[in-house]
Amino acid sequence: MIILSNFSNIHQWLLGLIQNAVATRVVELTIIALAYLAAFALIGLLLVLAERRIAAFFQLRLGPNRVGPWGLFQTVADALKLVSKELTGTVKADKFLYGLAPYFVIITALVSMSIIPFSKEVQVFDINIGIFFFISVSSLGVIGIFLAGWSSNNKYSLIGGMRTGIQMVSYELSVGMVVVTMVILSGTLQLSQIVALQQHTWFIFQGHVSAIIAFMVMMIASTAETNRTPFDLVEAESELGAGFHTEYSGMNFAYFFLSEFMNMFLSASIIVVLFFGGWLSPFGITAGIPFMGLFWFILKVSVVIFIFMWFRWTFPRLRIDQILTLEWKYLLPINMVNIVLMAALVWLGLTF
């Protein structure tokens, strides 16, 4: 189901221009796809700039300030550099899998983005199994990282790929259990319905202590899922060069680089939808104001992303045994108890 309710006039205009319902549908889908591709690239560029600025803030320095006003064009210059660079590789690589791996990570991120409800007016697919679809598709990205590490035929890349299989698969379990916890509270898998149920009170408050625990676990697990510090052993620069993408250059490297930031954006978006009311205003002033919901959604996501970046410049990198201990000895038991706690709260009617 395509939700673009404020664009019905455009639909009627296209239908009158083309005079064919099927062709009009194809043109609309093409326009939406191009718009999402443009948004995908723009969000990636803005997040790279934000990362640099926030890193500079925490390290008491200026950050990029030479290219363009306030360094705004630095990321654009870097993107042009990556686009123009030669695609180099290694003769010992498995050519097919080596070339396929970057497309796994970038396509899964793009498809996952299609399910995100940016506002009541802007959502491409609002299906009744939305959160299940998101978890299923986004989890395929690990295949691309694993393929990149293995097919490069480089010992550093291989170690990074092996760590991927261990770390990301482990923390997907925690993410999935947090989602189950919040689905028990909401009673639906449809993302728009999850947001609508928070019209009066966000789930972070409706679910009492259980929802707060789920939120804390989700923040930790999402940081690990996106391979960000202190869980960045997959591409630990001080140990592995660049980890799983050591042998990649040009646009292939850019795909991995962009997908990391987009996965952070997607994780933050799901956290906002599940816990903080999605596009809903905390003051109840979105009704009747075009795209005010989009403003609140972006603002909430920006706050969560800032926290992710705060983690990166605050905590030291963990060892692989510490990462696995945290998941299997702490987060997993906490999640199991928390699911039972949430079910009891819902059954007893103790939620707001």
- In this prediction, residue 328 carries a pLDDT of 94
Q: Domain range for residue 56?
A: 5-348
**Tens digit of each residue's pLDDT (9 = 90 or more) over 304-327:** 999 999 998 888 888 888 999 999
Confidence grade of residue 287 (pLDDT, cut at 50, 70, 90): low
Task: Compute CA distances 315 → 51, 222, 231, 232, 301, whole Å.
Answer: 16, 15, 10, 11, 21
Total of domains in the chain: 1
List, in order, residues 6 or more apart from 10 with CB less than 8 Å away: none
**Rounded Cα–Cα distance for residues 267 and 131 (Å):** 12
- In this prediction, residue 7 carries a pLDDT of 54
Q: Judge whether residue 2 has pLDDT over 50.
A: no
Average pLDDT, the chain: 86
Q: Judge whether residue 236 has pLDDT over 90.
A: no
Cβ-contact 199, 205 below 8 angstroms: no
Task: Compute CA distances 172 → 15, 119, 187, whole Å.
Answer: 44, 27, 21
**Tens digit of each residue's pLDDT (9 = 90 or more) over 112-154:** 998 999 988 788 888 889 999 999 998 888 888 888 888 888 8
Q: Judge whether residue 284 has pLDDT over 70.
A: no
List, in order, residues 6 or more apart from 100 with CB less than 8 Å away: 144, 147
